[in-house]
Structure 1
């Protein structure tokens, strides 16, 4: 029991440290992407941390299996390097018993990954999709930041305001530059520039929203040409485009797992097998990590780390390829992703029993030589 607690603690501590580092790296990259969208006015800065929180289960379901794999390699590699495993082997600790001990923390990780992939991650994706739809329902002035030139999503309009009231209704020092496109949007007809001392938003009874500009100029023309037209106005109304609002969540990753069962469509079937594959992945990478962690103290603990990571990446890449093939109908659902698990299960068993088989053959040869000499 003492050895069990000691090995389990070493694996879990190392896995937690590795997973935390991987999580920070992945979330930092994704946060920078969302931050760029907020800077361009696509997202409200106030929802960034909410989006990252809902995306956390989706990140963890992929990070935890890799964290466990690397945690076993690093923790047991250190024990081999410091000859602690040699002492345990002398007391009867075989590779099979070490695997059995390691499967205990692996089972906890697999249960956590199953909870994340089957329940929390789809709920998080659905919440993110809802937030994005709410952001799409906002006009450009709902995300306008004073003192910054801000482009629309399609890049046809650039808006600037020097100041904006707290209720986001009154503006001052307004500048709007907009491309004038033909009806089919195939031909650029120049640009229109609007400048005004102040402006305000008005919502009419029909639901249309207008930007009313006061005391300004409008300039129409083509860049590089001198035939600009200038119009001075006291009041000028601009109809703000209605946002495209979609209340349906079509992302298959957001579909609850219960709705995926029994589906005959290839895409939901592939999504269901992907969610079920992640907990299975935990057990198989544990089977591969235990023999791969065995190192010679003279060689160093990182000798097998790179080959092990390449093996893990090959496993994950084949799963993703099988998922894509299932979605396109190239693989039957009965075969699906299970052949990948069977392949790497066989690799894990080969790694587990290859060294004992070599030792057994060497022992038989040594006995043969001894009998021959006798």
Structure 2
């Protein structure tokens, strides 16, 4: 029991550290992407942390299996390097018992991943979709920040305001530069520049929104030419287009697991198998990690780390590829993703018992040679 607690603690501590680092890296990259959308006016900055919070289960369901895989490799690699595994083997610790001890913390991780993939992640995706859809009702001025030039995603308009009221309706010191295109949209006709002392948003009965500018000027022309037209106005209306938020989420990812059960839809079956594959992935990578963690002290701790990561990437890439094949109906649902798990489980068992299999093969060969010699 003491050895079991020691090994479990080593695995869980290393697993937690590795998972935390991976989570920070992945969430930082995703947060930068959302931050860029907010800077373009496609998202309200106030919802960034809500989106990241709802996306957290989706990140964790993929990070935790990799974190456990690397955690076992690093923890057991250190034990092999410091000859602790040699001492344990001399005391009667077999590879089967080591695997059994390692599967205990793996069960906890698998249960957590199952909870995330089957319940929390779909709920989080649903909430993120609601937030993104709510952003479709925003105009560029709903996400405008005073004192900063803001460009639409299409690059056709740049907007600036010196001041902005708390409700975002009243603007002061407005500057708008808009690129005028031909009706076909492939030829520039020039630019229009609007400046005004103040402006406000106005919603019409049909739902369209206008920016009403007061006491300003409009300049029309082409850069490099001197035939600009200047118009002074007391009141001027500008139609506000709705920014488009690029959807990154698949609709089926938000479907509750209970709705996927028994569904004859191929996409739903593929999604269900994917969700069930993630907890199963934990057990398979545990077998692979225990087999690959064995290292010679002369080889160093990190010699097998790169090949192990490549093997994991091939495993995950093959699962994703087969998921796509199942989506398109090119793969039988009965075969599905299960054969991929069986393949890599077989690889893990082969790597774990390769030495004993080799010794048995050599013993049989020697026995045959001896029998021939006696004959």
Q: Which TM-score band applies after superposition, normalised by the shorter structure? A: over 0.9
Post-superposition shift, 1:360? 4.0
Contact 2:288–2:348 (CA<8 Å) still a contact in 1?
A: yes
Residue in 1 aligned with 2:142? 142
Tell me, what secondary structure is at the counterpart of 1:319? helix
Residue in 2 aligned with 1:154? 154
**Deviations for 1:142-184, whole angstroms, at most 9, x for unmatched residues?**
1011111112233322111111112212211111122233445
Contact 1:178–1:193 (CA<8 Å) still a contact in 2?
A: yes
Residue in 1 aligned with 2:220? 220
Residue in 2 aligned with 1:71? 71
Residue in 1 aligned with 2:23? 23
Q: Cα gap change, 1:26/1:244 in structure 2, threshold over 3 Å: closer, same or farther? A: closer
| Unaligned 5+ runs, structure 1 | none
Distance 2:131 2:182 in 1: 33
Post-superposition shift, 1:187? 4.1
Distance 1:369 1:17 in 2: 53
Tell me, what secondary structure is at the counterpart of 2:198? strand
Tell me, what secondary structure is at the counterpart of 2:144? coil
Post-superposition shift, 1:123? 0.8
Post-superposition shift, 1:325? 1.4
TM-score (norm 1): 0.92
1:236 is aligned to 2:236? yes
1:118 is aligned to 2:118? yes
Post-superposition shift, 1:311? 0.7
1:341 is aligned to 2:349? no
1:109 is aligned to 2:100? no
Contact 1:137–1:245 (CA<8 Å) still a contact in 2?
A: no
Tell me, what secondary structure is at the counterpart of 1:218? strand
Q: How does 1:11-50 map to 2 (within 5 A)?
A: 11-50=11-50
TM-score (norm 2): 0.92
Post-superposition shift, 1:363? 6.1
Post-superposition shift, 1:362? 5.4
Q: How does 1:1-374 map to 2 (within 5 A)?
A: 1-241=1-241, 251-361=251-361
Distance 1:312 1:245 in 2: 34
Contact 1:72–1:293 (CA<8 Å) still a contact in 2?
A: yes
| Unaligned 5+ runs, structure 2 | none
Deviating more after overlay: 27-36 vs 216-225: 216-225
Distance 2:70 2:211 in 1: 57
Tell me, what secondary structure is at the counterpart of 2:353? helix
Q: Cα gap change, 1:238/1:354 in structure 2, threshold over 3 Å: closer, same or farther? A: same
**Deviations for 1:45-80, whole angstroms, at most 9, x for unmatched residues?**
111111111111111101100111111111111111
How well do the aligned residues superpose, as a CA RMSD in angstroms?
Answer: 2.4
Distance 1:75 1:129 in 2: 39
Distance 2:163 2:112 in 1: 49
Distance 2:314 2:350 in 1: 17
Distance 1:367 1:207 in 2: 89
Distance 2:108 2:308 in 1: 22
Post-superposition shift, 1:353? 1.2
**Deviations for 1:340-373, whole angstroms, at most 9, x for unmatched residues?**
111111101111211222344556778999999x
Distance 1:312 1:242 in 2: 43
Distance 1:164 1:90 in 2: 75
Contact 2:42–2:245 (CA<8 Å) still a contact in 1?
A: no
Distance 1:123 1:289 in 2: 31
Q: Cα gap change, 1:68/1:190 in structure 2, threshold over 3 Å: closer, same or farther? A: same
Q: Cα gap change, 1:307/1:245 in structure 2, threshold over 3 Å: closer, same or farther? A: closer
Q: Cα gap change, 1:55/1:242 in structure 2, threshold over 3 Å: closer, same or farther? A: closer
